[in-house]
Structure 1
């Protein structure tokens, strides 16, 4: 492990998600867009829980490179059964997620005894090999491919300008024709910039649709939570279980927000790809966007308010019963008094007890309805606050996406136009160069071209090496 870490591997320990606490889940999802892979660690005491699988599905939509690790296999004799069940769960999410059962104690014992067989049994050699060859290897290949593409683009632009000037110096008679060709190319670049209105229309329309769709998606998810919450409130007394109910509401809200932000990230990438189709004549890179970052979206939202648990003490129960029974005793006592009986007699007392019990039940039902109504108001107020705060941040993120895509592709169009304009200027300058300066300039240009060509060949060699390494990579490797 130390050798892999020395080679550049960075491991970020994120909060656990077994309980799916909202802050923990959002913090973990926030770190995923910048990660090459996610290691999902779960001990062998039990199979994956539904919150873990729900989190895994969310994470797979941000980074599809996931590795499962089944820890503490030495503590649980039934770990193979748990491993088989977990593999089935992982296959249901994505068929290519590997799972490595490991034991840290066996690993330490193998290191102490220098026992290679015990080390293999710990499971760490297979995990380390996967980290080294699958994750780090693929990350290095992607980095090499990106660098190679950038270098080749720069060298092609440099070579266009230098080659145009060299041809003009070596063949002055062909300069007008070459300048005319470059002028035509510059006119095409101008036309490309004029036609930028089309990709900007695509971008503006796409952002408008995306804002409307994501706002609807967020409201729809929160309304479903509100319906479920109100159904649960109607089925019982929310007072005694208010703490657990508030926790459930917080978790459900966080999960809904995470789903919305993950969907927003996917739709933003699709929009960037649609805009890139207007530049289909050449391969262009898409801008990097971290729309799924939802770590701080719930910070402006206040915690769920407390409510009356609905418990009353025995004295209050007696007072409620007496208040209801007083009228019954008085009414029946007056009636029986006509027949010469005392005001307080067995009949009036019995009637008072019956009416007192009835008054207590009615008061209990009224208090339950009042608490249910209060709980519904608190839920609606909480979800309205979430919708207001998160909706504002969601729109702000999408505005940032719009600006990022616009600036990215505007820079690409301007760079292409600038390269052709420099080539035209270089050719025109070469045609006006004096004969005494021509030979020296030709030598300088050829020397520069050799450097540019050498750099271009090096970039192509890197690209070929990366492609070959990708072909030879293990089938189960992930980035």
Structure 2
């Protein structure tokens, strides 16, 4: 009679349906049918030549399964009760592409009767099997009381042969067995492959028994059994070890020898199977429900956990990430605004300093040329030529300085525009500075400076003043010699002194004229420098204001666009966060329900295992 485990199993089925897992729902339904079947389905598996077929023969005390040194079992062989001995090959239809092969144990199929003397051929797959059909198995019916009590034995090919053939089919699937007997002979300890097989079966099946065969061939089979128990304990496989000898069992059956039968170990094995048969509707069913609950919960929780993890990834790359990026853009624009204003102020200050230095250097070069020229030239003679040269030189200096101003302002504008490089596009203002054609018209008029001229009367007076001294000095000297004061010698010396006096006075007047002209030109150039510098300062301030207005407008446009993007990203992030939080609550609620279902299933067997697979990773 089914107990609470059936309610738990039905709840598992409803949970599978609620999660949209039709495959798991089908599996649970098939497990329900299997657990409600009063028969005990015993699956015998193991490597080749371990005595699986002989083990089944010894259990039923009949040569049901063919045995031999070669490969005798190719198709799974189901040995069950029948009123008269019978053999048939049951072959399912070809696999349906819409349903995985082996998804369910077929209850119907094409049955091909096999003569009793052709059992070996049927089990070997050479008789009664239609090529191109689905999975097949051999069904053997025997009139045995043990089988009549509800015991069904399933012989299988060797595990390595089943893998080579692709699969043994649903009839040999451990999922549809109530008890799994793993067969290993006593000639050696469990191999690594057998331990791996035991681990795999024990994970998905609650009732596994290791049957150690051929104890009659190995004197120290007890030591082998003890070492096998140690291996199972170390591997964490909760499977008992039952040593048996099929040869002793069959020999005891022939002679009705109870002691030999007890020595064969089969009473222990059969007793275990009978207890499993009696407890199938309670103990075995509870354990099976606990195992299928773990399997179902793990498969249902895995996509939920993966979705939670994917949401964490999406949180870093979805709307929240775009919101953070928009916030970074706002902060970056704020820093960019500070940078371009500082850059503009620094660059304009540098432009003004460079322009003033350039103009000062050019005017100083002109003044040096003026000094060199008027160290020897007479302003009275070369003034007109010099005036034309000076005006031309100053005009050229002003034009060159203005060209330098244009280049420096363009460079400053590009430096400021570089601070907006991350926003792309051409952010330079649509402006240009050209050299005006009338720079020379703004020069102040250069007037001829007032200089002293060396007139004829001045030359006469200067000559008479110089000749008088010479005439008097020589005339007094010649009077001592008895000569008159005015004589040819004194007159000649007086004329010589008069000429020298005229030449000296002429040189002094020239130097005074040169000094006056240099001073006048110095003042004129200084006036030119002040006036042009004022124009350059005005031009620089005008350019600075123009650049400031342009980049301020550009900053406002960018700020408006970024603010719109930020608001849109924030709205999307808020919406996404609300949807994600709602979905996370739904997922956690589902996982909580799965954890409750898992705990309820574990309570059927008295287990208290924590549903670790349900916990989302931090």
TM-score, length-normalised on structure 1?
0.48
TM-score, length-normalised on structure 2?
0.38
Larger radius of gyration: 2
Write 1 or 2 for the structure with the bigger share of strand: 2
Higher relative contact order (Cα pairs below 8 Å, separated by 6+ residues): 1
